Amino acid sequence: MRVRFTKMQGCGNDFVVFDARARAPVLSPARAAAVADRRRGIGCDQVIALEPAGQGADVVMRIRNPDGSEAGACGNATRCVAFLLARETGRRDFVIRTVAGDLPARVLDDGQVRVDMGAPRLDWADIPLSRPMDTLHLPLGAGHLPLGAGHLPLGAGHLPLAAGPAADPAAASMGNPHATFFVADLAAVPVAAIGPVLEQDPLFPDRANIGFAQVLAPDRLRLRVWERGAGLTLACGSGACAALVNAHRRGLVGRAATVELDGGALHIAWRAEDGHVLMTGPAAIAFTGEVELAAAPS
């Protein structure tokens, strides 16, 4: 089956978007993984399918990671979908329905897109965590990794996992679970080595996105995120929202900050009046094309 797609990106976080509102390609886990493969497929951080929405929303957005698993929310993808709908309709305001809830989005005069990501969930059961605890201080870090996990390469030597630079994260859900570590020197953190181990810690029954943030100023953070099911990406919109929320809860920044990611910057604001988190940033179309989807399994 030959299907058209749009390749998009927001701060380097890239997506293959299928319009399934008229004729829905069945994006099974295997098909999504094949499309996301950067050597044998199109290549992307997530595969997006747009489906018809019922009352109260313009479109349903479904998200699959490169390992085929389904994600509940993706801030950068939401901005991309709003940008795509604006080009299609000439409108500026949309409601995008996700597994995690409805997300209002607006295309601004400068072409950037602002998404209302809703209120963060901060209770241990809503993130979710495996047992009751203070979500502002999780008993998790390099020192809690299994003793048999070995050593992490760091510079010219090796850093034992038990003496790692990251500890004591805070947790929040932005439609998907996030743990944010606050570190003094982000460049010294071997994110690609620590991230996949922490993602699957028993503390997270649904796995988790693992963020590492450095406070640069009261209104600026530097962030890298290991995304569950996707790995280290150039940007993570929901991770940037969680980082701002957790940093403010710790008293490290105000209610609004610019979050610098490997692929660009997002402006995040945690609104006091209703507790909603607003994310503003760029979105762009890279190219369009067609792909042959393998026959769906019987």
- Provide the whole-model pTM: 0.89
Whether the pLDDT of residue 58 is over 90: the answer is: yes
User: Rounded to whole angstroms, how far apart are CA atoms 14 and 7?
Assistant: 7
pLDDT of 298 reads 37
Domains 2-116+283-292 and 142-275 share a fold: yes
User: Rounded to whole angstroms, how far apart are CA atoms 27 and 48?
Assistant: 9
- Decide if 236 is catalytic: yes
The CA-to-CA distance between both ends of the chain, in Å, stands at 15
- Position 147 confidence tier, pLDDT thresholds 50, 70, 90: very low
Of residues 201, 205, 174, the one with CA closest to residue 268: 174
pLDDT of 159 reads 38
**Active-site choice (11, 74, 80, 241):** 74
Of residues 291, 285, 293, the one with CA closest to residue 7: 285
148's CB contacts (< 8 A; 6+ apart) are none
What pLDDT, in 10s, does the model give residues 88-112? 999 999 999 998 899 999 999 999 9
User: Rounded to whole angstroms, how far apart are CA atoms 58 and 67?
Assistant: 28
- Cα separations (Å) of 107 from 75, 79, 168? 14, 8, 37
pLDDT of 161 reads 37
- CB 177 within 8 Å of CB 206: yes
Q: Which whole number is the average pLDDT over 37-58?
A: 94
What pLDDT, in 10s, does the model give residues 193-252? 999 999 999 999 999 999 999 999 999 999 999 999 899 999 999 999 999 999 999 999
209-217 and 177-182 strand pairing: parallel
pLDDT of 160 reads 37
Structurally, at CATH architecture level, domain 2-116+283-292 sits in Roll (3.10)
Domain 142-275 has CATH 3.40.50.1370: no
Whether the pLDDT of residue 145 is over 80: the answer is: no
The answer to which of 113-122, 155-164, 272-281 has the lowest mean pLDDT is 155-164
- Decide if 74 is catalytic: yes
Omega of the bond prior to 128 within 30 degrees of 0, cis? yes
Domain residue extents for the chain:
2-116+283-292, 142-275
**Active-site choice (11, 44, 236, 241):** 236
Q: Which whole number is the average pLDDT over 77-87?
A: 97
